[in-house]
A and B are shown apart, each in its own frame.
Chain A
Amino acid sequence: MAEEGSEILVDKRIAEGLLAVADESTPSISNTTTSNETSLNTPRKPRFIPRLRQGFRNLLHRPSSDGDNSLSGAAVSSETAEKEPLFGSNLYKDAEGGIGSVPKVEPPPQSTPTLNSEPLPTTASGLSESVMQQANIKARQEGKPLPYPEAQGVKLPYALEGKLLDLKGERDVLIQKLSDLMISDAERAEFEAQIATLDGQINQFMFPTPEERKQQVEETKKELTDIRAANEDLEPSYKEDLNNQIDSFISELDNYIKDIPEAADAERSILRRVLDYKLPLVGATVKDYLIYTAVGSSTGLVARTAVLNGMRIFLSVGATPVATTLAGAAAGGASGFAREYIKLVRDEKRQEKISELREKYNDRNTLKRELLVRLKSGDLQRLGKASLRGAIVGAMSGFVAFEVASWAKDHIDLNSFIEGIKHHLPGGGTDRGSTLSVKPEPTPTPWHSPSPHETPINSSAGVHSTSTPIATETPTPTPTHPLPNSSPLELSSTPTVHSTPAVNLPPGHSGTNIDLGNHGASGTGPGSTGLEPKPGSNLSVGSSHGSTLGVSADKANGSFGTHSAPVGETAFHIPDGVIPKDGIVHLSEGSNPWNMASKIGEHALGRPLTPEETLELTKEIARQSKVAVPGWGIGGPGFTDEHSLGTGYKLVFNDKVVSLLQSFKK
C-alpha cells in the first residue's frame, strides 16, 4: 500500500520551505516516484506516502494540544497556505463539538487560510449563529430543556483529511485535463472514469459508512506503521518528531471509529444523494461547491447538521413532544418540510393574505429605498454576498430536507407527524400566529410533470428513476433543479404570490416570491413531501404558471365508480371507487394530475408503483388525456399543454390505461 513519494521534513524550522516544495509537486495520479534523496552527509529525512502529505500539511496548521508547538503553523507562509483550502478541516465538526460520546476535537485555528477571499459565512462556526443554536444556547443558560435537537458531529482525523485533500487534488488535475480540447475521446473517457472513481472515494471520506470509516482508519494506520518502520534509521530528533506525529494520528484515528453516530447509513445515503444536486445560479453540484470553495466546510456542516436534525425529527415522532420536533424542523434543514406542509394546509387562506402582503411590501419598499440611498457600492455588495452565501446554504439544506422527507416517507407515519404539527404550532395552531385552517384529511401534493429523467411524484418506491451510482451506493439521483422549477414550490410561483408590488420587474419577470412560510424543501423534487394522500381524501393545491389544477378524488362524493374489467379478465380487478365508471376524472382546482394518476394506479394495484411504472402510467394518461408534455415527447394537435390545464380538464382512464395497470399487475 505504501508508496514512496515526495519528501517532507517535519520540522517547523524548515516547514515553510518544505511546503513550498509540496506545493510545486502536482498531486499525482500515477505511481510516479519523485526522488530527492539526500546526500550521505545529511541526516536521513522521513519519507512520506503522498496521500499523507496533506495530512501532515494540516498538522502544520494544527494548534498543539499539549503546548509543544514544534509543528505549529507559525512557520507556514501565508502565501503558501492560501493556495490550498483546508477543506474538511471542520467538515464534520459540530459547532459545539457534538454531543454524546462523539469525540470532541480541537477546532482549527481561526486564521485557517482558505482559498476563498470571502469571509466565511456567519455559520462558519457551524450553526452556532443560527436561530436553532441561539435558542439552544439561551435555553441552556436559563436551565431549560433544549428546544431543538442538537446535531452530532465528528471531525475527520487529520490523516484522513490529508487523504481527502489528495483525492481532491487528483480530481482537480483530471478536471483540468478534461478541459483540454486536444485530448482524445479515449483519454477523455479515461479521465471521466477516473473522476468518477475519485468522486466515489471522496464521498466515502465525506460521508462514510461505519464500515468505510473503519476501513479508512485501518488502511491509514497501516500506512502510518509502514512509515514508522521505513524511518527507523532516522536522525533521532527527526525520528522523535515523526513518531510523535504518528502516535497522534493513530490516536485520532482510534477515536474516530470509537463511536459512530447512529443512523450513519441513512445519513450517508441521504447526503450522498444531495451531493449530486445542482445548485441554481452557482451552476455546480453541491459536491463541486463543497470541494471547490472554502465555504464548503461550513456548508457541508450545515447540510450534515440539517440532515441529522431532520432525521431525528422524523425518528422521534411519537417518542418526544411534537413541539420539540417541530421546533427542530423549523430550525434545521427539515424546516422546509414542515413549513411547506403548514403552508399547504392553509393555502386557501393565501388569497386573503395577498392584500395584507401588498401593505407589507409597501413598507419594505421603504427599506429598499433606504438601502439604495444609504449604501455605498461596497456595502451593497457585501450584503448581497451575504444573501447569496446564505441562499446557497439554504438551497443545500433544502436538498437535504427533500431527501430527508423522501427517506422519512418510507420510515415513519407522516400522518402522525402532521397531526402532531397541527396541534403544536406556536400561536395555537399556526406558525405565525395566524389562523390555521386545517382540513381533517387533505394531504395535498404539489405537482409538476416528471421529466423523462425523473420519477413522477409520489412514487413510493423511490424518488428517482434514473440513477448515477456513487461509489458503493445504489441508485443515486442526478437531479438538476430539484427546487422550484420542478417542484411543489411552484406553489410559490403562482402569480398571485409572485407579483411583489414593491418590486416591479422588467417585462417577462414573474416577480419575486412572497413568503408565506414557504421555505419548504418538501417541494424540492418529485415526491418531495412524502405526504401520501389517503384514498378518498381530497387532493388539492398545486398550481403552476398560474393555472389551477385540481382533481377531486373525493370518494365520498361518489365521483368515482367501479371499473368494469374487460371481458375475459378475471385476474385483475380494480377496487371499487378507484376509477370512475366512465373513466373520466375532472381536474378540480389546485390538484396535480400526475399525482392523481399515480395515486389511482397505486390504489388500483393495491401496492406502491415502482418509479418506472409511475412514469409509464403518467405518460399513458397524458397520451390518452391529450396532455402535452414536451419533456416526454407527448404532444400534437389537440393536445393541451400540461401547464395550461384548467379546472375541469378531463383525465382519461380508459382501457389503455387499465391495460397498462393490468400489465403491472402481472
Chain B
Amino acid sequence: MNLQIDDILNKLVDECLSAPAFATLDAQQKEVQKQKILNHFYTRILFITIDNLTDEQYGQIQDLKPEDPQFEQKIESFTQEMPQLLDLFDQTLKKDADYIKNTGQLPSLEEDQSQNPL
C-alpha cells in the first residue's frame, strides 16, 4: 500500500487512461495525456482551494506571486483548516475523472464550459 500524495492522483489518472477512450493510444501518447490529466487535477484542486479560502486568507495570497514559496506554504496552511475540503476534492476529481473517461476530454475549468480536447 502506498499512500504518497503522488500516488493518490496517479491512481485516478491511470483509471482515466484505462478507459476505452484512450485505448488506441500508445505508451508515449498515454504518458503525454497522463501529464495533461494530472495537471488538470492539480489545477482543479488549486481552484477549489482558492474558491474556499476566506476573504482574509485570500487577501493573504492575493498579492503573492504564485512562485513565491510563501504562496505554497500559505495554501497548505489554509487547507489544513478546512476539514471538508478533502471530501470536496474527492467528489470533484472523481466527477472529472468520470467525464474524462466518458469523453476523452478534459472538463472545462473556465466559465464557458467548453471542453478542452486533450
Contacts and interface: CB of A to CB of B under 8 A. Distances in A.
A385 interface: yes
Interface residues of A, number: 87
B83 A336 contact: yes
Given A388-B8, A505-B107, A506-B113, A383 B66 contact: yes
B27 interface: no
B77 A122 contact: yes
Nearest to A171: B1
Given A288-B1, A394-B85, A432-B54, A502 B111 contact: yes
Contacts of B95: 505-506, 508-509
Nearest to A521: B83
Interface in A368-386: 368, 370-372, 374-375, 377, 379-386
Nearest to A515: B52
Contacts of B48: 387, 503, 512
B31 interface: no
A506 B76 contact: no
Interface in B66-118: 66-67, 71-73, 75-93, 95-96, 98-99, 107-113, 115
B86 A500 contact: no
A418 to B, nearest CB: 19
B56 interface: yes
Nearest to A386: B76
A85 to B, nearest CB: 11
A171 B1 CA distance: 11
A387 B76 contact: yes
B24 to A, nearest CB: 23
A335 B84 CA distance: 12
A402 B39 CA distance: 33
A379 B87 contact: no
Contact of B88 (A372, A513, A524): A513
A504 interface: yes
Interface in A477-523: 481, 483-485, 489, 492, 500-510, 512-515, 517-521, 523
Contacts of B38: 381
Contact of B4 (A117, A432, A508): A117
Contact of B81 (A122, A370, A392, A394): A394
B99 A506 contact: yes
B1 A175 contact: yes
Contact of A484 (B52, B88, B99): B88
A631 to B, nearest CB: 18
Nearest to A518: B84
A129 interface: yes
Interface in A191-243: none
A392 B43 CA distance: 17
Contact of B8 (A121, A282, A302): A282
- A280, A365, A501, A520 pick with most chain B CB within 10 angstroms: A280
A131 interface: yes
B89 A388 contact: yes
B86 A383 contact: no
A500 B51 CA distance: 8
B84 A398 contact: yes
A76 interface: no
A393 B80 contact: yes
A277 to B, nearest CB: 11
B18 interface: no
A364 B111 CA distance: 13
B50 A367 contact: yes
A280 B8 CA distance: 11
B82 A394 contact: yes
A515 B51 contact: yes
Nearest to B54: A515
A401 interface: yes
A289 B67 CA distance: 29
B25 interface: no
A506 B108 contact: yes
B108 A389 contact: no
B45 A384 contact: yes
A504 B66 contact: no
Nearest to A522: B83
A381 B40 CA distance: 9
Contacts of A336: 83
B97 to A, nearest CB: 11
A292 interface: yes
A489 B84 contact: yes
A372 B43 contact: yes
B10 to A, nearest CB: 11
A390 B4 contact: no
Nearest to A390: B79
B84 A513 contact: yes
A372 B109 CA distance: 10
A121 B78 CA distance: 12
Interface in A85-122: 115-118, 121-122
Contacts of A118: 4-6
Interface in B33-72: 35, 38-39, 41-43, 45-56, 58, 61-62, 65-67, 71-72
A153 B77 CA distance: 20
Nearest to A500: B51
Contacts of A183: none
B28 interface: no
A115 B88 CA distance: 27
A279 interface: yes
A432 B55 contact: yes
B3 interface: yes
A361 interface: yes
Contacts of B42: 380-381, 383-385
A270 B7 CA distance: 29
Contact of B83 (A283, A386, A395, A485): A395
A401 B46 contact: no
B3 A361 contact: no
A349 interface: no
Contact of B77 (A280, A390, A517): A390
B84 A492 contact: yes
Nearest to A371: B66
Nearest to B12: A281
A394 B4 CA distance: 17
Contacts of B55: 360, 432
B81 A335 contact: yes
B80 A483 contact: no
A350 B42 CA distance: 29
6 contacts: A281-B8, A282-B3, A380-B46, A387-B45, A481-B87, A505-B107
Q: Across chains A and B, which 8 residue pairs bring their CB atoms closest together, nearest first? A: A398-B83, A384-B42, A390-B79, A280-B90, A281-B90, A506-B107, A395-B86, A390-B76
Interface of A: 115-118, 121-123, 129-131, 175, 279-284, 288-289, 292-293, 295, 302, 335-336, 360-361, 364-365, 367-368, 370-372, 374-375, 377, 379-395, 397-399, 401, 432, 481, 483-485, 489, 492, 500-510, 512-515, 517-521, 523-524
Given A483-B83, A519-B84, A524-B83, 5 more contacts: A375-B66, A388-B86, A393-B79, A501-B111, A515-B51
